[in-house]
Amino acid sequence: SQTIHQWPATLVQPVGSPLSLECTVEGTSNPNLYWYRQAAGRGLQLLFYSVGIGQISSEVPQNLSASRPQDRQFILSSKKLLLSDSGFYLCAWRETGTGVSYEQYFGPGTRLTVT
Amino acid sequence: DAKTTQPNSMESNEEEPVHLPCNHSTISGTDYIHWYRQLPSQGPEYVIHGLTSNVNNRMASLAIAEDRKSSTLILHRATLRDAAVYYCILRTSGGGADGLTFGKGTHLIIQP
């Protein structure tokens, strides 16, 4: 069966510090991968998605970036965090190919607080 | 993705059925209707999806209007664990590679 991991679960970082959040998926190959953010009291917002290694599409311009160094690894980064980067960050994956379900499966999330 | 409209919140009693409505008057012929829910402090989870016919699975039922301009997610016997935000999302046929567009959803409150 497939599983998705995110770490860390919680993170408190000062303004101006770097960020690296990691997401890995097990039990599937060539998945589509996604990063979402949920700010306090707001809805889920798609940040990035990837259809393959090294292929990143950005939905919202900001001081965050994403990378996909391996097929089942997705990393969210920032060189300098802003207070507005605080939120609940969720990684998700989806199967690809013909005859597959198009459901997205979400990880447990990372709660980031920028102080 | 086409826009959907849901009530901000609904309240129901435990062990009673719950009907969560969703309006999608601008739905196109190739749009699938997807439902996800998000429990407190967790990521969303898939509930059900359909195109034209009503659908049933272990979690819920999806009733789709004949003109497809609205749908209803039915929880047959709500439990306290069903308290969550429920999102109705339209997706084009095949889903596409891009992500889901979440609205504000319906906050479902279950009273014991």
> Is A108's Cβ below 8 Å from some Cβ in B?
yes
Task: Look at B43 and A90 and tell me if their CB atoms are within 8 Å.
Answer: yes
Cα B43 to its chain centre, rounded Å, is 15
Please say if the pLDDT value at position B23 is more than 90: yes
3-state SS class at A84: helix
A38, pLDDT greater than 80 = yes
pLDDT at site B30 = 85
Of the partner residues A57, A102, A108, the one whose CB lies closest to the CB of residue B43: A108
**Mean pLDDT of all residues in B4-30:** 95
Q: What is the pLDDT of residue A98?
A: 67
Choice between B14 and B98, residue whose per-residue pLDDT is larger: B14
CA neighbor of A53 nearest in space, from A72, A36, A35: A72
Q: Looking at the complex, does the CB of residue B100 fall below 8 Å from at least one CB of chain A?
A: yes
> Shortest CB distance from A49 goes to which of B45, B46, B99?
B99
Residue B70, both tokens: 């609205």
**What's residue A22's pLDDT?**
97
Decide if A115 contacts A12 (C-beta within 8 A).
yes
Looking at residue A100, its pLDDT comes to: 64
- DSSP annotation string for B53-104: S-EE-SS-EEEE-TTSSEEEEEESS--GGG-EEEEEEEEETT--SS------
Share of chain B above pLDDT 70, in %: 94
Cβ neighbour number for residue A101 with a 10 Å cutoff: 11
Reported as a pLDDT band with limits 50, 70 and 90, residue B25 is very high
Q: Given a cut of 60, is residue A30 above it in pLDDT?
A: yes
Quick check: A64 pLDDT over 60?
Answer: yes
pLDDT at A113 over 60: yes
Query: Of all residues in chain A, what percent carry a pLDDT higher than 70?
Result: 96
Query: What is the pLDDT averaged over residues A41-49?
Result: 89
Any chain B CB within 8 A of the CB of A87?
no
Chain A residues touching residue B98 (CB < 8 angstroms): 46, 49, 57, 59
Reported as a single tens digit per residue, the pLDDT across B72-108 is: 999 999 999 999 999 999 987 655 677 888 989 999 9
pLDDT at B46: 93
pLDDT at A82: 95
Residues B8-23, mean pLDDT to the nearest whole number: 97
The CA angle B35-A38-B71, to the nearest 5 degrees, is: 20
Query: Residue B36: phi, psi to the nearest 5?
Result: -125, 160
* B80, B109 contact by CB (below 8 A): no
pLDDT of residue A41: 79
